[in-house]
C-alpha cells in the first residue's frame, strides 16, 4: 500500500508541474477545437504497433515455446490492460501468468523474454532521441534524459549479453546455489535454468537482430499515432519532433507513478514539445491528454475483453509467484 501511495503522490507532483502556469481557458478551447476524427486512424495504427510487438514476442519466445503472433496478441493486450489499471507494472507478471495458462510455460522464462523486450524498447527510444538530435538541437534537460537512458539500457544490455553468451554463467550460478539451504536449491535451480532459457534470443544473433528490427518498426508505428493525433490539434510536428515526443514520453513512464503513468507521460510530452519546440503549453497539454486517452482506453477495453474470454483469474494474479508452471 505504501508503494501505491508513493506512486500516486509522484503522479500528483508531475501533474502539478504540468499544470502550473497553464492557461485553462486556452486548454479547454484547444480541446473543443480539436478534430477528433484523427483518432480513428491513430488508434488503428496503435493496434498495428501492438500486433508487431506480438510478432516480436513470438520471436523472443522461440527458445521457450512456439506461439504465433495471433496467439500472443490477446496476451499482449491483457498485459497492457493490467499495466494501465494495476500498480508496479503488474502487467508483466500478468502476461507471464496468461502465457503459462495457454502454453504451460515457465513464468520465469517468460519474464526473461519481457526483460529483453524492455531493453530493446529503451534502446529504441534512445535511438529516436539521437536521430531527432540531428535535426533538432536538444536542450540540457533532453540531453540529461538521453544520458540517463544510455546509462540504464546500454550497460544492462551489455551485462545481459555477457551473461547469456558466457559459458561460465551456468557454472557460476551452480556454485552460488550451493550456498543456499538445501530445501530451496531445486526451486532456485529451476528458476535460473528457466530464466537462462528465456534469454536464449541473446545467444542467437539472427533472432536478436530480427527482434531489434521489429522493435524499431513497432515504435515507428506508434510514433505515427502521435503524429496523427497532433494533426487533430493543429500541431504541425516535424518527424524529428514526433520521434522526440514518443521517446521522451515513454522514457518518462519508467518513473514510478500511478497505474497508467498519469503525470510523467504528460510531463514528457510537454518537455519535448513545449520546453524544446516552444509550442503553446495549452495546446500541447490538451494534445497530451487526448493522446494518453487514446493509448489507454482502447487497449484497456480490448485487454479486459480478452481477459474475460480466456477466463483468467484475478485471485491467481494476486498470489502468483515467479516459479515453474506445472508441467513445464
Interval 239-248: pLDDT, tens: 999 999 999 9
Q: Are the CB atoms for 89 and 83 separated by under 8 Å?
A: yes
Rounded average pLDDT over 265-271? 96
Buried b (16+ CB within 10 A) or exposed e, 117-141: bebbbbbbbbbbbeebbeebebeee
Buried-state track 65-90, b at ≥16 Cβ within 10 A, e below 16: bebebebbbbbbbbbbbbbbebbebb
Average pLDDT score, the chain: 91
pLDDT confidence of residue 212: 98
pLDDT at 323: 44
Comparison of pLDDT for 324 and 230, the residue scoring more: 230
pLDDT in tens, 193-227: 788 888 888 999 999 999 999 999 999 999 999 99
Euclidean distance between CA atoms 145 and 171, whole angstroms: 38
Confidence at 325, pLDDT banded by 50, 70, 90 = very low
- Residue pair 264/257 in contact by the 8 Å Cβ criterion: yes
Measured between alpha carbons, how far is 109 from 92 in angstroms, rounded to an integer? Answer: 12
Question: What residue ranges in the chain does DSSP mark as E strands?
Answer: none
Q: Stretch 4-13: mean pLDDT, rounded?
A: 92
User: How much of the chain, in percent, has pLDDT values that exceed 70?
Assistant: 95
H or E segment and range at residue 218 = helix 205-232
Predicted confidence band of residue 22 (pLDDT cuts 50, 70, 90): very high
Q: How confident is the model at residue 165 (pLDDT cuts 50, 70, 90)?
A: confident
Query: pTM to 2 decimals?
Result: 0.91
Q: How far is CA 139 from the centre of its chain?
A: 25
What local confidence, expressed as pLDDT, does residue 265 receive? 97
Question: What pLDDT, on a 0 to 100 scale, did the predictor assign at position 327?
Answer: 38
User: Cell digits for 320?
Assistant: 502468483
Quick one: cell of 315? 485471485
**How does residue 316 score in pLDDT terms, banded at 50, 70 and 90?**
low
Amino acid at each position: 500500500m505504501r508503494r501505491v501511495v508513493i506512486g500516486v503522490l509522484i503522479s500528483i507532483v508531475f501533474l502539478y508541474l504540468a499544470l502550473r502556469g497553464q492557461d485553462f481557458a486556452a486548454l479547454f478551447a484547444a480541446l473543443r477545437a480539436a478534430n477528433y476524427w484523427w483518432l480513428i486512424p491513430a488508434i488503428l495504427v496503435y493496434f498495428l504497433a501492438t500486433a508487431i510487438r506480438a510478432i516480436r514476442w513470438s520471436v523472443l519466445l522461440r527458445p521457450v515455446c512456439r506461439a504465433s503472433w495471433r496467439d500472443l496478441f490477446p496476451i499482449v493486450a491483457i498485459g497492457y490492460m493490467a499495466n494501465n489499471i494495476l500498480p508496479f507494472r503488474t502487467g508483466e507478471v500478468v502476461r507471464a501468468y496468461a502465457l503459462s495458462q495457454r502454453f504451460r510455460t515457465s513464468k520465469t522464462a517468460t519474464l526473461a523474454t519481457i526483460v529483453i523486450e524492455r531493453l530493446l524498447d529503451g534502446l529504441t527510444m534512445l535511438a529516436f532521441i539521437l536521430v531527432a538530435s540531428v535535426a533538432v538541437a536538444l536542450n540540457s534537460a533532453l540531453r540529461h534524459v538521453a544520458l540517463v537512458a544510455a546509462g540504464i539500457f546500454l550497460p544492462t544490455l551489455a551485462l545481459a549479453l555477457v551473461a547469456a553468451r558466457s559459458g561460465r554463467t551456468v557454472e557460476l550460478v551452480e556454485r552460488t546455489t550451493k550456498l543456499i539451504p538445501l530445501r530451496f536449491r531445486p526451486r532456485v535451480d529451476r528458476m535460473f535454468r528457466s530464466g537462462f532459457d528465456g534469454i536464449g534470443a541473446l545467444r542467437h544473433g539472427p533472432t536478436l537482430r530480427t527482434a531489434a528490427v521489429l522493435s524499431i518498426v513497432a515504435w515507428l508505428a506508434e510514433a505515427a499515432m502521435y503524429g496523427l493525433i497532433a494533426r487533430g490539434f493543429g500541431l504541425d510536428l516535424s518527424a524529428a519532433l514526433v520521434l522526440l515526443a514518443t521517446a521522451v514520453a515513454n522514457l518518462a513512464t519508467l518513473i514510478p507513478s500511478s497505474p497508467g503513468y498519469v503525470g510523467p507521460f504528460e510531463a514528457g510530452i510537454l518537455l519535448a514539445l513545449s520546453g524544446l519546440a516552444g509550442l503553446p503549453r495549452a495546446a500541447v497539454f490538451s494534445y497530451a491528454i487526448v493522446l494518453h486517452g487514446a493509448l489507454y482506453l482502447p487497449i484497456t477495453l480490448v485487454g479486459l475483453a480478452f481477459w474475460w474470454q480466456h477466463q483468467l483469474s484475478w485471485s491467481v494474479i494476486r498470489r502468483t509467484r515467479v516459479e515453474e508452471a506445472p508441467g513445464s
